[in-house]
Amino acid sequence: MGQSPSSSMSLGGVQWPALRRTHWNSDGTSVPVHDSRYAGWLVDSVRSGLVAIDAQGAVAALNAAGHRVLGCAGEDPAAVIGRDCREALAAQPVVAERLLEALDGAERPSRAELTLASRGDRPALTIGYTIAAVRDAAGAVAGAVLQFRDLTPYERRAEQERLRERLAALGEMAAGLAHEIRNPLAGMEILTGLLRRRLQQQPEELALVNELSAEVRRVAQTVTDSLEFVRPMELRRDPVDPVELLEESLARARSRVPLAVDIQRDYAETLLPLCADAERLESVLTNLIVNAFEAMLAAASTPARVSLGVRVEAALGVEAPGERAPAELVFTVADTGPGIPDELRERVFYPFFTTKQSGSGVGLAQAQKIVVGHGGRLELSTESGRGSTFRVRIPLAPEALPTLESEPRSSA
C-alpha cells in the first residue's frame, strides 16, 4: 500500500530511499512522506529541542520543545518560521549567535553546554547541545541546526548526590563535636541554676546569671540545629492540602513574630493533594514567612505586606513527544522588606551564615535541604530596598497534572 517506484529524498543532508512515500492517517486519508506536514511531525517528535536557520539567518525549523524552552516570540512555532533568528530568539541572543557562527561551515564540538538567560521568575537554565551546518546536495552551507536537551534534571540529581556526600562527612564530624560541647554546656546549665538560687536577693547579679543561662541555651540550640542539619533526612510522604499547609505555616509564623502585617493571598482555585512530608515542608514555609516578618520588622517597612501564593506551573524543560510537560507545585512568599544585597544573595543558603543578632544560620540551609529532598528547588529573587520573593518548587506526580489549567483565586 502506498508504494511507488524507487526514488530518494534528502533529509538532514542524507539521501534516503523513498520506498514508501505515503503515510496513512487514522482517518484513512494519506499524506506523502515528503510533504511539509510530515516533516513538521518528524521535527516535533524529536525528544529534544531543535531550532534551525537558513543561510540568510531566518528561522527555518523550530519544534514545540525548542519554542517553549527558548521563549521565542509568537504564540506557536509556526509564527516564528521565516523571521530573522536574532529577532525570533531575542530572549536568548546567545543561541542566535551560535547558529549564525555555524554558518561558516567549520566543524564544531560534538557536545557543548550553554546557560540560557533567565526569563521572568524562571531561573537560568543549562542546556547540553550539538550544532552543525546544514549542507545542500552540492555540499554548500544552506543553514545551521542546533539540537539541545535541558540538563536541569541531571544537575539536580548531581546536586542532591553532592549534598548527601557533604552531609555524610559533616555528620560524622558534627556528632563528635556535639558530644564534646554538650557535656560542658550541661554542666554550665547546672551551675547557673545553683547560682540563680543563691542570688535571689541580689537582682543585678541575678540578671547577669539569667543572661548567661540564656546564652548557654542558645549555644546548646545551635549545636542541636547543626546536628539536625547534617543528619541524613528521611521523608514521610503523605497526601497534604497545599493551601492548608501554607495557612498553618502562616499561623505558626504569626505566633512567633507579633507584627501587624497585611497578608495577600493568590491561591489556585483547584489543587490536588501534594504527596510530601507535611511536617518538614511546613517548617520550610514557616521559616520563610518568619524571615519575611522579621525583615520588615527590623526595617520598619511601610507598608508591611506579605504575599502568599500557591499554584501549579509547567516545569521548564524538554518533555517527551506526546507527553504533557512536567508540572511543579509552586509556593510563593514575598515581602516588602529591605531586600537582600547582591553580595549576600548566594550566601543566604550557606550553613551557619546569618545577618541576625540571634540567628543560628541554619534555617535557610535546612529549608533548602528539605526542598531538595523532595526533588524540588528553593529560589530567591530580590532587589535591595524592594523586598524579597522565595519560591518553593516541588515536582508533582502525573495524576496532579490536570490542575495546570486551574484558574487562580485571589484574596487580600
**200 Cβ contact partners less than 8 Å away, ≥ 6 residues apart:** 206
How far is the C-alpha of 262 from the C-alpha of 285, rounded, in Å? 17
How far is the C-alpha of 304 from the C-alpha of 260, rounded, in Å? 8
Specify the fold of 154-230: Helix Hairpins (1.10.287)
How far is the C-alpha of 9 from the C-alpha of 363, rounded, in Å? 62
The pTM is what?
Answer: 0.57
* Domain 35-150 classification at class level: alpha beta
The angle subtended at Cα 114 by Cα 146 and Cα 154, nearest 5°, is 100
Nearest to 361 by CA among 235, 214, 218: 218
Write out the chain's pLDDT in tens, 412 residues: 444 444 444 444 443 444 345 545 556 665 454 556 666 677 777 778 889 999 999 998 888 888 888 877 556 777 888 889 998 888 888 999 999 999 998 888 778 888 887 766 666 778 888 999 999 888 899 999 999 888 776 766 676 677 667 666 666 776 777 778 878 888 888 888 888 888 888 888 888 888 888 888 888 877 777 777 667 678 899 999 999 999 999 999 999 888 888 999 999 988 888 999 999 999 999 999 999 999 898 888 788 899 999 999 877 554 444 455 578 899 999 999 988 887 787 788 777 677 766 666 678 888 988 998 888 889 888 877 788 999 999 988 754 444 333 344 444 4
Nearest to 403 by CA among 315, 272, 265: 272
DSSP string computed for 2-36? -B-S--EEEETTEEEE-SB-EEE-TTS-EEETTSH
Domain with CATH 3.30.450.20 in the chain: 35-150
Percent composition of the chain: helix, strand, coil (DSSP 3-state, to 5): 40, 25, 35
| 8 A C-beta contact, residue 67 and residue 46 | no
Cα-based torsion angle of the residue sequence 23, 25, 31, 36 in order, rounded to the nearest 10 degrees = -100
In this structure, the number of other CB atoms found within 10 A of the CB of residue 140 comes to 10
The pLDDT of residue 342 is: 77
CATH number for the segment(s) 238-411: 3.30.565.10
Nearest to 156 by CA among 409, 375, 323, 394: 375
Instruction: Identify the H or E element spanning 114.
Output: strand 112-116
How far is the C-alpha of 62 from the C-alpha of 270, rounded, in Å? 34
Which strands make up the sheet holding 59-62, listed edge to edge?
Answer: 59-62, 49-54, 141-150, 125-135, 112-116
The angle subtended at Cα 216 by Cα 365 and Cα 281, nearest 5°, is 25
Could you identify the residue written with the cell 490536588? Answer: 272
**400 Cβ contact partners less than 8 Å away, ≥ 6 residues apart:** 272, 274, 312, 327, 329
How far is the C-alpha of 38 from the C-alpha of 60, rounded, in Å? 15
Nearest to 161 by CA among 399, 16, 372: 372
